[in-house]
């Protein structure tokens, strides 16, 4: 295993907060538990103001870099990650943020880790929801680790305890697997959604599968983007253009069991490479704004 997934990206680098992470636990299970205490999901439990958050704290969902996220967490509660945190001492965010912070802490401790973007079938029965988890190299294999859910989580589909340190790959489909299954007819594309109740064509089916495929490719190349970022061929169209269908098929063939050097070359293509300036559409679907990346 080389040091590519041990070294930080510009997004996972804790920067000035690295000293704070020295007090965090150094094993995968403890880091997973720590990460589950760091974020309050911005919509999973309804309006955040019903839980005591001022509405202004909703802006925290656009925190992009681990350094800024840890700085905010440290401001809210100076105790290093690893113990219980009151909900109001967590940052407001989503699955991407649980995972980014977990990956940052893992890399800080020299553990090879990366983020994976795809769809989870263990959140709402009958649906594959837009989701981000970690992939960690331990015990001689890449294993999917779920940083968001609490210990003891039971799969609502069958009531079984979900292995949060080794999520089955048929329960979380990484971008390429979701795309391939949908294109082959093994999975109804209509079941791929951000939320079953969110009736926005771009956020459902093949358009969003294409979106997550590109975000997963970016994540494999250590560009851990926010889920509502757009760049290159990504847009908010209700249908996938024929050229993008063919391009997604091509990428999906390359990404399973990926060769990092090969993916670095693929990621240099203009339609998928993350440029210095991107667009971002903050939920619930505001006008896209330009974001200059560090």
CA 110 to CA 255: how far, in whole Å? Answer: 25
Spell out the alpha helix ranges (H) of 45-202.
Answer: 66-76, 95-108, 175-184
Domain-embedded: residue 1? no
Q: Would you state the pLDDT for residue 32?
A: 98
Range of the domain at 276: 15-292
The dihedral region occupied by 152, where left means phi > 0, alpha psi between -120 and 50, and beta the remainder, is: left
Radius of gyration of the chain (CA): 18
Domain-embedded: residue 10? no
Domain-embedded: residue 43? yes
CA 36 to CA 288: how far, in whole Å? Answer: 30
Which residue reads 């649906």 in tokens? 127
Query: How many C-beta atoms lie closer than 10 Å to residue 217's C-beta?
Result: 25
Beta bridge partners of 128: 192
Domain-embedded: residue 47? yes
Domain-embedded: residue 286? yes
Residue 232 burial (C-beta neighbours within 10 Å; 0-12, 13-18, 19+): middle
Domain-embedded: residue 83? yes
Domain-embedded: residue 27? yes
Q: Would you state the pLDDT for residue 261?
A: 87
Ordered DSSP codes for 219-267? HHTT----TTEE-TT----SS--HHHHHHHHHHHHHSSS--HHHHHHHT
Q: Would you state the pLDDT for residue 262?
A: 87
Q: Would you state the pLDDT for residue 117?
A: 98
pTM above 0.95, yes or no: yes
Q: Would you state the pLDDT for residue 126?
A: 96
Q: What is the count of structural domains for the chain?
A: 1
Domain-embedded: residue 231? yes
Per-residue pLDDT of the chain (294 residues; tens, 9 = 90+): 568 999 999 999 999 999 999 999 999 999 999 999 999 999 999 999 999 999 999 999 999 999 999 999 999 999 999 999 999 999 999 999 999 999 999 999 999 999 999 999 999 999 999 999 999 998 899 999 999 999 999 999 889 999 999 999 999 999 999 999 999 999 999 999 999 999 999 999 999 999 999 999 999 999 999 999 999 999 989 999 999 999 999 999 999 876 788 889 999 999 999 999 999 999 977 788 999 999
Q: Would you state the pLDDT for residue 1?
A: 54
């Amino acid at each position: 295993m080389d040091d590519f997934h041990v070294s930080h990206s510009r997004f996972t680098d804790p920067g000035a907060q690295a000293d704070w992470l020295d007090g965090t636990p150094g094993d995968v299970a403890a880091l997973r538990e720590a990460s589950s205490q760091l974020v309050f999901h911005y919509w999973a439990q309804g309006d955040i103001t019903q839980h005591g958050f001022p509405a202004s704290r909703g802006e925290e969902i656009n925190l992009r870099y681990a350094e800024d996220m840890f700085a905010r967490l440290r401001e809210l509660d100076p105790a290093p990650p690893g113990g219980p945190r009151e909900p109001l001492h967590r940052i407001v965010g989503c699955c991407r943020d649980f995972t980014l912070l977990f990956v940052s802490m893992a890399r800080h401790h020299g553990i090879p880790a990366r983020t994976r973007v795809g769809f989870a079938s263990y959140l709402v029965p009958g649906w594959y929801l837009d989701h981000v988890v970690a992939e960690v190299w331990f015990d001689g294999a890449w294993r999917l680790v779920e940083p968001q859910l609490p210990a003891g989580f039971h799969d609502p589909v069958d009531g079984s305890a979900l292995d949060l340190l080794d999520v089955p790959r048929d329960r979380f489909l990484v971008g390429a697997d979701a795309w391939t299954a949908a294109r082959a007819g093994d999975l109804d594309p209509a079941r791929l959604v951000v939320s079953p109740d969110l009736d926005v064509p771009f956020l459902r089916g093949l358009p969003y599968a294409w979106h997550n495929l590109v975000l997963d490719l970016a994540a494999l190349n250590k560009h851990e983007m926010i889920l509502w970022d757009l760049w290159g061929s990504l847009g908010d169209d209700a249908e996938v253009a024929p050229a993008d269908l063919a391009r997604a098929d091509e990428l999906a063939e390359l990404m399973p069991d990926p060769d990092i050097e090969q993916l670095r070359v693929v990621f240099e293509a203009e339609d998928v490479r993350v440029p210095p300036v991107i667009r971002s559409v903050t939920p619930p679907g505001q006008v896209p704004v330009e974001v200059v990346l560090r």
